[in-house]
C-alpha cells in the first residue's frame, strides 16, 4: 500500500514541477528576456525539482518502502518530468518555430553562427533532430543527479531515524 501511495504522491509532484518546467521552456521562446535572467530562473526550477527528488527519497524512507522501491519511484518521477519537458520543447519547435523569437538553450549558438530566425536555425543541416538529441542526452545525464538527490533524502531520513532511536534508547537507560 505504501509503495502505491508513494508513486501516486510523487506523480502529483512530478506533474506540478514538470508542468512548470514545460511551460517555462515553451512559453519563454515567444518573448525575449535577458539570457542571464532566463538561465537563472531555469536553473532555479531545476534545483527545485532536484530538491523535490530529495523529498521523494525522504518520504520513501518515512513510508518505510525499500531503497529499490524508492529508486523506481525516482525513475518514475524523473521520467514524467523529462516527458513533459522534452515533449514541450519538441511540440514548440516542431509546430511553432515560425512564431518563436528565440530558443534560450541554443541562443548563443545561433547568434554565433549568424542565423536570423529560429526557423532558419532549426532547418539548417538537420539542426532540429540534432538539438532534440542533445536535449534527450542532457536529460539522461541529469538523471544521475535526480537519483543522487533521492538517495540523499532517503539516507538523511535513515540517519535521523537511527539518531532518534539511539537517543530514545539512551534516555530509557537513564
Could you report the per-residue pLDDT of 103-157, keeping only the tens digit for each? 888 888 888 888 888 888 888 887 888 888 888 888 888 888 889 998 999 999 9
104: containing domain: 2-169
The reply to whether 124 falls in a domain is yes
122: alpha, beta or left? (left if phi > 0; alpha if psi -120 to 50):
alpha
The reply to whether 87 falls in a domain is yes
Measure the CA–CA gap between 79 and 18, rounded to whole angstroms: 10
Measure the CA–CA gap between 166 and 171, rounded to whole angstroms: 9
Question: With 70 as the cut, is the pLDDT of residue 68 above it?
Answer: yes
* pLDDT grade for 20, boundaries at 50, 70 and 90: very high
Closest CA to 104 of 19, 26, 23, 20: 26
* pLDDT grade for 69, boundaries at 50, 70 and 90: confident
Asked if residue 62 lies in contact with residue 157, where contact means CB atoms within 8 angstroms, the answer is yes
pLDDT score of 27: 92
Query: Can you tell me the mean pLDDT for 82-92?
Result: 89
pLDDT score of 115: 86
The reply to whether 79 falls in a domain is yes
pLDDT score of 172: 64
Question: With 70 as the cut, is the pLDDT of residue 1 above it?
Answer: no
126: alpha, beta or left? (left if phi > 0; alpha if psi -120 to 50):
left
Beta-strand ranges (E) seen in the chain are: none
Which residue has cell 515567444?
30
Angle between helices 127-173 and 35-62 (to 10 degrees): 40
Q: CA quadruple 76, 78, 80, 86: dihedral positive or negative?
A: negative
Number of structural domains found in the chain: 1
* pLDDT grade for 174, boundaries at 50, 70 and 90: low
The reply to whether 174 falls in a domain is no
The reply to whether 157 falls in a domain is yes
The reply to whether 101 falls in a domain is yes
Distances (CA, A) of 44 to 4, 48, 68, 70, 75: 30, 6, 29, 24, 21
60 Cβ contact partners less than 8 Å away, ≥ 6 residues apart: 6, 67, 69, 70, 73, 150, 153, 154, 157
The reply to whether 48 falls in a domain is yes
Q: What confidence tens digit (pLDDT) does each residue in 30-61 have?
A: 988 999 999 999 999 989 989 988 998 898 88
How high does pLDDT run on average in the chain? Answer: 86
Amino acid at each position: 500500500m505504501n509503495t502505491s501511495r508513494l508513486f501516486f504522491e510523487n506523480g502529483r509532484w512530478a506533474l506540478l514541477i514538470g508542468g512548470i518546467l514545460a511551460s517555462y521552456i515553451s512559453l519563454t521562446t515567444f518573448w525575449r528576456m535577458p539570457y542571464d535572467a532566463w538561465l537563472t530562473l531555469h536553473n532555479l526550477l531545476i534545483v527545485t525539482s532536484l530538491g523535490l527528488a530529495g523529498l521523494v527519497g525522504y518520504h520513501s524512507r518515512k513510508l518505510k518502502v525499500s531503497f529499490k522501491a524508492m529508486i523506481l519511484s525516482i525513475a518514475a518521477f524523473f521520467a514524467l518530468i523529462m516527458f513533459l519537458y522534452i515533449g514541450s520543447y519538441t511540440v514548440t519547435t516542431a509546430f511553432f518555430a515560425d512564431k518563436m523569437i528565440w530558443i534560450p538553450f541554443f541562443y548563443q549558438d545561433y547568434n554565433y553562427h549568424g542565423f536570423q530566425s529560429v526557423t532558419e536555425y532549426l532547418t539548417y543541416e538537420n539542426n532540429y533532430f540534432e538539438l532534440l538529441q542533445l536535449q534527450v542526452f542532457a536529460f539522461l545525464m541529469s538523471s544521475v543527479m535526480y537519483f543522487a538527490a533521492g538517495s540523499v533524502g532517503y539516507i538523511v531520513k535513515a540517519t535521523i531515524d537511527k539518531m532518534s532511536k539511539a537517543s530514545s534508547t539512551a534516555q530509557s537507560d537513564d
